[in-house]
């Protein structure tokens, strides 16, 4: 296990680069307590640290797109993504947009219309054809862009197809737990970046994947990378034990 102080910025970047592929590679990015809770006091931010923030922003800078459940985005106070200036040149060299778009996933469209993030041109709401028509019109009137990825619910496979159609292949999924479980159950979770906070939470907080059951063959992963810091946090990067076809890192 490596110490964070021994890992250079360039090496950390190389570690978290997404593998290049002709189809979307989906990486979950989550934080959990040592007893498995995905939140403390209702928010994942209650478990985070400076090191976690560094890796969080690095992965955003490496991603083509950020995908997150709309409920999580509202609770956590998501704003339109930004990328630190130090990463812009590398993004341009990789053929990426200067800033990754944000996709909010919601089949109910139970999103406040005064949630200003939805009106940003870099934000899209992925929903389904049978989402409540009134909510659809309300959010569109507030400036939101909606895309249907399924009939009665958001189909992870159709969402992945939509990302592919848009040329978005480095996919960073930031939860929440129910959406991450849905992605994993569909066999689409290629990687998992997990920060383990040296904290006991107790209570009834959800795990990082909660809801849809994941078949053991789709949930089996192997550890690719592990570092720690002086605060006792562990930064893990897992990959599928049976990875789908990819090419060289990029």
- Give me the pLDDT at residue 20, please: 82
Extended strands (E) in 56-135: 65-69, 102-105, 123-127
| Predicted local confidence at residue 249, as pLDDT | 45
What CATH number is given for 2-240 in this structure?
Answer: 3.40.430.10
Residue 172 scores a pLDDT above 60? yes
Q: Can you give the pLDDT at residue 245? A: 53
- Predicted pLDDT of residue 42: 85
Question: What is the per-residue pLDDT for 217?
Answer: 83
75 neighbors 38 (Cβ within 8 angstroms): no
Mean pLDDT of the chain: 93
Q: What is the pLDDT of residue 248?
A: 41
- A 10 A CB-CB count for 167 gives 12
pLDDT at 227 over 50: yes
* Model confidence pLDDT, tens digit, residues 86-118: 999 999 999 999 999 999 999 999 999 999 999
Q: Mean of the pLDDT values across residues 236-240?
A: 96
Single pTM value for the model: 0.93
Spatial CA neighbour of 73 closest among 22, 12, 136, 118: 118
Residue 197 contacts residue 210 (beta carbons within 8 Å):
no
Delimit the domains of the chain by residue range: 2-240
Start-to-end C-alpha separation, the chain: 25
**Integer Cα distance of 115 and 44 in angstroms:** 19
pLDDT exceeds cutoff 80 at 6: no
pLDDT exceeds 80 at position 171: yes
| High-pLDDT (> 90) share of the chain, % | 86
For the segment 9-17, the average pLDDT, to the nearest whole number, is 91
41-50 tens-digit pLDDT:
888 988 989 9
- Confidence band, pLDDT 50/70/90 cuts, at residue 244: low
Predicted local distance difference test score (pLDDT) of residue 80: 95
Q: What is the pLDDT of residue 5?
A: 65
């Amino acid at each position: 296990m490596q110490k964070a102080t021994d890992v250079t910025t360039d090496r950390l970047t190389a570690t978290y680069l997404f593998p290049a592929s002709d189809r979307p590679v989906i990486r979950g990015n989550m934080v959990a307590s040592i007893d498995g809770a995905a939140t403390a006091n209702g928010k994942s931010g209650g478990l985070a640290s400076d090191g976690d923030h560094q890796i969080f922003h690095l992965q955003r800078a490496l991603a083509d797109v950020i995908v997150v459940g709309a409920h999580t985005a509202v609770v956590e106070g998501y704003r339109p993504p930004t990328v630190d200036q130090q990463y812009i040149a590398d993004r341009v060299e990789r053929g990426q947009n200067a800033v990754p778009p944000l996709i909010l996933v919601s089949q109910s469209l139970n999103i406040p219309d005064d949630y200003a993030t939805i009106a940003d041109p870099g934000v899209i709401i992925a929903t389904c054809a049978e989402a409540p028509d009134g909510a659809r019109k309300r959010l569109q009137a507030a400036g939101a862009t909606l895309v249907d990825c399924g009939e009665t619910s958001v189909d992870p496979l159709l969402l992945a197809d939509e990302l592919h159609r848009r040329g978005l292949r480095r996919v960073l999924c930031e939860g929440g737990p129910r959406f991450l479980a849905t992605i994993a159950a569909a066999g689409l979770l290629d990687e998992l970046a997990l920060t383990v906070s040296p904290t006991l939470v107790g209570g009834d907080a959800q795990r990082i994947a909660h809801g849809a059951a994941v078949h053991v063959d789709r949930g089996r992963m192997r550890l690719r990378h592990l570092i720690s810091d002086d605060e006792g946090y562990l930064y893990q990067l897992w990959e599928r034990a049976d990875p789908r076809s990819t090419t060289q890192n990029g």
